[in-house]
């Protein structure tokens, strides 16, 4: 049953070929080594920049590809099909760069975005703290103004691309008395004195992603590194950009569901039990029929959200629905697929095992699924 997303066109088909060729050449042969190293090669970012895979949806005047979110979606699907889950390119492209594009000054855009587009710089955003998860109003990291500089102090954790990041958007309090209204986004370059990296964290999945702890020990940055026209705009900026991050989680969850289905269909048709293929048992066929249905429902819902997003019409409650439902159903589907692999499903050498551990975090980051339901309930 072939299905084509309605937002795909000839330009995206051609781009898909480029992304597929790059991912098969540069990602697939290196996945095992990157998992052992807990990070991708730094050179990968430069290679991606050379062929135009970075900052795909950033205007060409800032070094980007001049594309749309659809291009980002095509790239991440080819990354997943190449067997990689560690390269944090979607965060770099579709999240970090877009904060700068949306709220940065012309000087900031010209200074930072071309370096991100070329792969010279890797981007990260530092929201979560050791004592603060989804509650971004309660961050403790401070940015105290001292003349023409901010002095940034605090600690962040679970930071995607943290091990290699060169430019980090830091969520900090510029006024601790104002709660959410005292939150600002400030860029810290990794070469500034006082910035240091902690551990690259040992996770149950996403083994080749350099998720790290970051520390800011009175790091001085110029006041021109503030993103926005004034202090205190950070919380609003986060709320405006988080829907795209949640859409991304919907994208990766639906792709994971589809790949789990494809992988398990192939395995059960090849694997023999009691003298016949595992697929020929009624339970197997019924389970896979259920997963195929939910994967299609997820894809149709996702495509509708992408189409709305491309027109600037995607609302916060709808993308919260997408994020929680697809990440939840993908986890259930992958678990069923793992079960159909039997004991081999528990072996890391089989793709389904990695899909299972990689998918689990989707229910947590970008705002937990419980937070998504709270957002939805407020509109009922």
- pLDDT, average across residues 1-29: 95
User: For residue 134, what pLDDT band results from cuts at 50, 70 and 90?
Assistant: low
What local confidence, expressed as pLDDT, does residue 1 receive?
62
**Quick one: 152 exposed, middle or buried, by C-beta within 10 A (0-12, 13-18, 19+)?**
buried
365 and 267 inside one domain: yes
- Asked if 203 and 211 touch (Cβ cutoff 8 Å), the reply is yes
Range of the domain at 189: 124-231
Does residue 135 carry a pLDDT above 80? no
- Rounded percentage of the chain residues whose pLDDT exceeds 70: 99
Distance (Å, whole) CA 14 – CA 122? 26
What local confidence, expressed as pLDDT, does residue 131 receive?
77
**CATH number for the domain including 331?**
1.20.140.10
Q: Round the average pLDDT of the chain to a whole number and report it.
A: 96
Give the residue carrying structure tokens 């980090």. Answer: 168
312 and 260 inside one domain: yes
Q: Which of 72, 77, 245, 258 is catalytic?
A: 245
Q: Does the residue 367 lie in any domain?
A: yes
Q: Does the residue 5 lie in any domain?
A: no
104 and 137 inside one domain: no
Distances (CA, A) of 378 to 71, 224, 238, 317, 373: 32, 37, 19, 9, 9
pTM summary value? 0.93
Does residue 326 carry a pLDDT above 90? yes
User: Which residue in 175, 179, 177, 191 sits closest to 142, CA to CA?
Assistant: 175
- Asked if 279 and 289 touch (Cβ cutoff 8 Å), the reply is no
Strand partners, 142: 153, 173
Q: Does the residue 364 lie in any domain?
A: yes
What local confidence, expressed as pLDDT, does residue 137 receive?
74
Q: Does the residue 1 lie in any domain?
A: no
- pLDDT, average across residues 62-86: 96
182 and 193 inside one domain: yes
Distance (Å, whole) CA 124 – CA 162? 6
Q: Does the residue 3 lie in any domain?
A: no
Final residue before a domain boundary, out of 231, 253, 287 = 231
226 and 240 inside one domain: no
Other CB atoms within a 10 A radius of the CB of residue 200 amount to: 17
Distance (Å, whole) CA 183 – CA 169? 13
What local confidence, expressed as pLDDT, does residue 132 receive?
74
- pLDDT, average across residues 278-286: 97
Question: Would residue 24 show up in a list of annotated catalytic residues for this protein?
Answer: no
**CATH number for the domain including 158?**
2.40.110.10
User: For residue 144, what pLDDT band results from cuts at 50, 70 and 90?
Assistant: very high
* pLDDT tens sequence across 221-268: 999 999 999 999 999 999 899 889 999 999 999 999 999 999 999 999
Question: Which residues, in sequence order, are CB contacts of 12 under 8 Å at separation 6+?
Answer: 70, 71, 74
Does residue 181 carry a pLDDT above 70? yes
Does residue 133 carry a pLDDT above 70? no
Does residue 70 carry a pLDDT above 80? yes
Does residue 164 carry a pLDDT above 70? yes
């Amino acid at each position: 049953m072939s299905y084509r997303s309605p937002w795909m066109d000839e330009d995206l088909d051609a781009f898909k070929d480029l992304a597929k060729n790059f991912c098969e050449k540069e990602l697939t042969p290196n996945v095992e080594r990157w998992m052992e190293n807990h990070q991708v090669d730094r050179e990968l970012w430069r290679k991606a920049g050379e062929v135009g895979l970075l900052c795909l949806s950033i205007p060409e005047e800032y070094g980007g590809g001049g594309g749309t979110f659809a291009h980002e979606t095509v790239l991440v699907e080819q990354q997943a099909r190449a067997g990689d889950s560690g390269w944090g390119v979607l965060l770099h492209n579709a999240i970090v760069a877009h904060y700068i594009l949306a709220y940065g000054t012309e000087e900031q855009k010209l200074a930072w975005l071309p370096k991100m587009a070329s792969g010279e710089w890797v981007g990260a955003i530092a929201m979560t703290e050791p004592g603060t998860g989804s509650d971004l109003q309660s961050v403790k990291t401070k940015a105290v103004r001292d003349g023409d500089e901010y002095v940034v102090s605090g600690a962040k954790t679970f930071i995607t691309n943290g091990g290699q990041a060169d430019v980090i958007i830091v969520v900090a309090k510029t006024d601790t008395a104002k709660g959410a209204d005292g939150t600002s986004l400030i860029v810290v370059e990794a070469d500034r004195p006082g910035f240091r990296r902690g551990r690259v964290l040992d996770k149950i999945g996403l083994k080749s992603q350099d998720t790290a702890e970051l520390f800011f020990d009175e790091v001085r940055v110029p006041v021109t590194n503030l993103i926005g026209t004034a202090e205190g705009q950070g919380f609003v900026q986060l709320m405006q950009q988080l829907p795209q991050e949640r859409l991304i989680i919907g994208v990766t969850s639906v792709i994971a569901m589809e790949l789990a289905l494809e992988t398990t269909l192939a395995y059960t048709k090849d694997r023999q039990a009691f003298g016949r293929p595992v697929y020929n048992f009624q339970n197997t066929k019924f389970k896979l029929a259920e997963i195929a249905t939910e994967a299609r429902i997820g894809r149709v819902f996702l495509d509708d959200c992408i189409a709305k997003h491309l027109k600037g019409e995607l609302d916060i409650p709808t993308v919260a629905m997408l994020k929680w439902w697809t990440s939840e159903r993908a986890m259930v589907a992958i678990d069923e697929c793992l079960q159909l692999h039997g004991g081999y499903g528990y072996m890391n050498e089989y793709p389904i095992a990695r899909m299972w551990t990689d998918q689990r975090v989707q229910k947590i980051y970008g705002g937990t699924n419980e937070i998504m339901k709270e957002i939805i309930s407020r509109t009922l």
